[in-house]
Amino acid sequence: MIIAISIVFLFLILRFAVTVFNFVSDPKLRKIKRGHQELVSILIPARNEEANIIRLLQSIEQQDYKNYEVIVLDDDSSDQTYNLCTAFATGKQRFNVIKGQPLKEGWLGKNFACHQLALQAKGQYYLFLDADEKIYPGLINSSVHRMQVRKLALLSLFTNQVMDTLGERLVVPLMHYVLLNLLPIRLIYMAKNPAFAAASGQFMLFNAGDYRTHRWHQMAKDKVVEDIEITKMVKSTNFKCESLLANGFITCRMYTGYSDAINGFSKNFLAAFNYSIPGFILYLLVIIGGPLLVISTLNIQLIIMMCSLIVLSRIMISFLSGQKVWYNVLLHPLQMLSLVVVGVFAIKSHLTKNTLWKGRPV
């Protein structure tokens, strides 16, 4: 029992140390006043996004950055996505809407859509955005500045998440929780080892010259979690890449309820553990079984120490990710239960390989 408790606290302290490092280093995109003029190609793959995409296009139009082109690729939508985007783009020279080709064998849908978009782009930078986002003034200029100052081939941002229902609040915060509790974000840029790789496909900004040479989405054409795989490829090719927190420059409502969030997270959650089922199960045993073991001792001092580490971690992560602190603190036990549910579905999907997303197998 003493050995097990010691392991639990060792893991808790290590994760707490990572969280403190992220909190102190504050890896956020900063707003830059110096103006940039390089042409940025904003590339948006869209499949059945009639409820979201006009909000994104309107927010792009309201940007303070003016030298851009927008290309929307309709990826075989069965709703009004194409018609809505075409109507919005009418009379706007910077906006263009194209129809995607039929999905080719060996490709996943989003990767193929992004590949086609890149072939049409003319900019010095390629910015891939998801259709369910909204961007705010300063984003593009500050991101281009970061690319130039750091000499990056890739900059990715972890967007601020919008959550309107209790179901979303039980699942969506897990993304930032696992990320900021396990990985020192600054090491993505500082460490050359591809093992230190994390990114968000919701915002991927590439140096166009490097992209045209390597065709990153083509190289990752069959990868479910293409953002992380591309980051590993970029680092393996000795290019520099960086991932940062969006700092309010871009928001996204990923899912609209509990079941939607569970299904969405389970399709790629194992990627954070390099698809190691034993590693993921061990993580769950320590992060969830560990606290239960400590509580079973009825040792008040140990329980208070454990709860303090967890609560302080949740507070720091909530501030970093722009989420409501008390929601995450109070809902932590239920979020951990949701993590188990995500884990069960993720393992099942990985073993059976029958995951569907937007009507397509992934």
Query: 278: how many CB neighbours lie within 10 A of its CB?
Result: 8
Check pLDDT > 80 for residue 360. Answer: no
Mean pLDDT value across the chain:
92
Q: What is the mean pLDDT of residues 329-342?
A: 94
Confidence at residue 271, expressed as pLDDT on a 0 to 100 scale:
72
Confidence at residue 289, expressed as pLDDT on a 0 to 100 scale:
87
The residues with which 205 forms a beta bridge, in sequence order, are 127, 155
Over the stretch 283-305, which tens digit does the pLDDT of each residue have? 888 888 888 888 988 899 999 99
Confidence of residue 361 (pLDDT cuts 50, 70, 90): low
Confidence at residue 357, expressed as pLDDT on a 0 to 100 scale:
54
User: If we measure between CA atoms, which residue out of 108, 173, 109, 80 comes closest to residue 97?
Assistant: 80
Q: What is the mean pLDDT of residues 261-265?
A: 89
- Calculate Rg over the CA atoms of the chain: 21
Looking up tokens 């590339």, which residue turns up? 43
Task: Give the Cα-Cα-Cα angle 26, 258, 271 (nearest 5 degrees).
Answer: 55
Confidence at residue 168, expressed as pLDDT on a 0 to 100 scale:
95
Confidence at residue 282, expressed as pLDDT on a 0 to 100 scale:
85
Confidence of residue 353 (pLDDT cuts 50, 70, 90): low
Confidence at residue 334, expressed as pLDDT on a 0 to 100 scale:
96
Greater confidence, 244 or 2?
A: 244
Check pLDDT > 60 for residue 359. Answer: no
Give the chain as a 3 state SS string: CHHHHHHHHHHHHHHHHHHHHHHHHCCECCCCCCCCCCCEEEEEEECCCCCCHHHHHHHHHCCCCCCEEEEEEECCCCCCHHHHHHHHHCCCCCEEEEECCCCCCCCCHHHHHHHHHHHHCCCCEEEEECCCEEECCCHHHHHHHHHHHHCCCEEEEECEECCCCHHHHHHCHHHHHHHHHHCCCCHHHHCCCCCCCCCCCCEEEEEHHHHHHHCHHHHCCCCCCHHHHHHHHHHHCCCCEEEEECCCCEEECCCCCHHHHHHHHHCCHHHHHCCCHHHHHHHHHHHHHHHHHHHHCCCHHHHHHHHHHHHHHHHHHHHHHCCCHHHHHHCHHHHHHHHHHHHHHHHHHHHHCCCEECCEEC
Instruction: Point out the least confidently predicted range of 250-254, 268-272, 336-340.
Output: 268-272
Confidence at residue 143, expressed as pLDDT on a 0 to 100 scale:
97
Over the stretch 206-230, which tens digit does the pLDDT of each residue have? 999 999 999 999 999 998 889 999 9
Confidence at residue 189, expressed as pLDDT on a 0 to 100 scale:
96
Under 8 Å between Cβ of 131 and 49: yes
Phi, psi of 282 (to 5 degrees): -60, -40
Check pLDDT > 60 for residue 362. Answer: no
Over the stretch 48-67, which tens digit does the pLDDT of each residue have? 999 999 999 999 999 999 99
